[in-house]
Amino acid sequence: MAVSTGYIGLFLEDHGEENQRTFDPRDSRAHRHVPVDQLIVYNAHKGVRQLQEMNAYTGQMSVDSRTVVVSIDGACRGNGTPSAQAAWGVYFGPQSMHNECGLLDATLPQTSTRAEIEALSQALNIIRNYVSEDYSLLHYHIRTDSSYLVNTFSTWIHDWIKNGGMNSRGKRAAHFEVLKRIEERLDDMTYGDDGGMTFRFWLVPRGENKEADALANQALDEGSRANILATSAKLQVLAISPLDQASGSNKMAANVKPRVLAVSLNRLSFFDSMYDSLLSKLRADSTFQRVEDGPSAIRMLLEEPRPDAVLVTDEALTLKKNAAVWDAVLKYIRRGGTAVCMGHFSCFTSPMSIKPFFAKAGLDWSSASYHRTTLVLNAQAVGTSLASRLPPAYSQKAVFLKQAKPSDAWYVTNKDSVLESLVFGAENAHTPGESPVLLARVAGGKLGYVGDVNGEEGSEAVVLAMCGL
């Protein structure tokens, strides 16, 4: 099949307006004569759907290799009720590694409109962090059945921003702050230093947006199953008799152990001996599993039931050859999972690899100091309940990261922190803005980092706490 790399009317339509925000194939000279069932084709190699266009003079069809078609949708069950739950879906193509879905954060209004907005935001995240790594993909067509989204980003948003968030009726526009942030991201991805992309909204009937809707409902189904399992686990614990609690013989109690998966693609021979104490605690408190090859890791990360926590124990996922596994970890996190980079990860990961690695998760973390010092617990970050289970301070030799939010830093230096070295003097080691122990919210889940290179006892408590044990 022929492939086109030109515009051929795609961005300069009959009415001559360039880079407009809406797209309708019926108004496009390049697309209006393409049969509907052939307008969109799937590029399995790139994991995206692309547009076909027709040469007006020859009638020959070709794929515009610079286009991407992404479908978005939101869904809500119990809309308008106290028990409402909403979710979003982003669809790039059949079996695409970029497809994503998740529950709407519980702190947000649980409505279908807010879920559709979240779907757009998540789509931009995926485009920025993954799809746009292919520099040939420049022109993004966002398919949605929401006339609200199409009207907002093609017409209303500029007036709202100009009027300080007020709509044409003189009232505050709903969801203005998040819509403004999305508009700013669209502008940055179009005109910014790393821009060069174009975005157009394609309004379709609901029946033509089934794939994205199915993903949103998949997230709702998975959320319902998770709630059922959690409720069942609580009932099982409540059903344990005092005698069973004392003897520890109740089988149902054993069934509710959380599952922890260690992704150890580059495991070294001395890892188990170095972390023997932590591994013993993990095996005692959880169903502990380890995977050492990429295909098996991807399967175990995405199959049901998913792990309760994932440990990334070495530098393997920072390597290009294992990018698909890191993508699977991120998909697991976005669907509500918790992953922690620990063990040999900080020892063997190149400092230059840290920033792009965490950037894929939407985090600005980058490599900073490397030394031993005593850190103190940031109780505001972990909360009162968890603080009681963690050491108030402990010494560790660690790779620190910077550019993290203060609320994500579990341990920090203070004015009393000094370099603890047999070679160097006791110099001040207070480094505000740096931490070797971090846990950040990423979409519906959490991503942690423990930079301790020696496996201190305090770090064992941290890893167990991050895993929910």
Q: Do 40-225 and 259-467 show the same overall fold?
A: no
pLDDT for res 302: 83
Domain positions in the chain are: 40-225, 259-467
pLDDT for res 252: 36
Q: What is the mean pLDDT of the segment spanning 46-50?
A: 92
pLDDT for res 225: 55
Q: What is the mean pLDDT of the segment spanning 284-307?
A: 91
Question: What is the value of pTM for the model shown?
Answer: 0.57
| pLDDT tens readout for residues 330-361 | 989 988 899 999 999 999 999 999 999 999 88
CATH of range 259-467; options 3.10.150.10, 3.40.190.10, 3.30.300.350, 3.40.50.880: 3.40.50.880
- What SS3 string covers the chain? CEEECCCCCCCECCCCCECCCECCHHHCCCCCCCCHHHCEEEECCCCEEEEEEECCCCCCEEEECCEEEEEEEEEEECCCCCCCEEEEEEECCCCCCCCEEEECCCCCCCCHHHHHHHHHHHHHHHHHHCHHHCCCCCEEEEEECCHHHHHHHHHHHHHHHHCCCECCCCCECCCHHHHHHHHHHHHHHHHCCCCCCEEEEEECCHHHCHHHHHHHHHHHHHHHHHHHHHHHHHHHHHHCCHHHHHHCCCHHHHHCCCEEEEECCCCCCCHHHHCHHHHHHHHHHCEEEEECCHHHHHHHHHCCCCCCEEEECCHHHHCHHHHHHHHHHHHHHHCCCEEEECCCHHHHCCHHHHHHHHHCCCCCCEEEEEEEEEEEECHHHHCHHHHCCCCCEEEEEEEEEECCCHHHEEEECCCCCECCCCCCCCCECCCCCEECEEEEEECCEEEEEECECCCCHHHHHHHHHHCCC
Give the range with max mean pLDDT: 50-59, 138-147, 377-386. Answer: 138-147
Name the CATH superfamily, with its identifier, for domain 40-225: Ribonuclease H-like superfamily/Ribonuclease H (3.30.420.10)
| pLDDT tens readout for residues 85-120 | 999 999 999 988 788 898 998 889 999 999 999 999
| pLDDT tens readout for residues 185-239 | 999 999 987 778 999 999 999 999 999 999 999 989 877 655 544 444 444 444 4
Q: What percent of the chain has pLDDT over 90?
A: 69
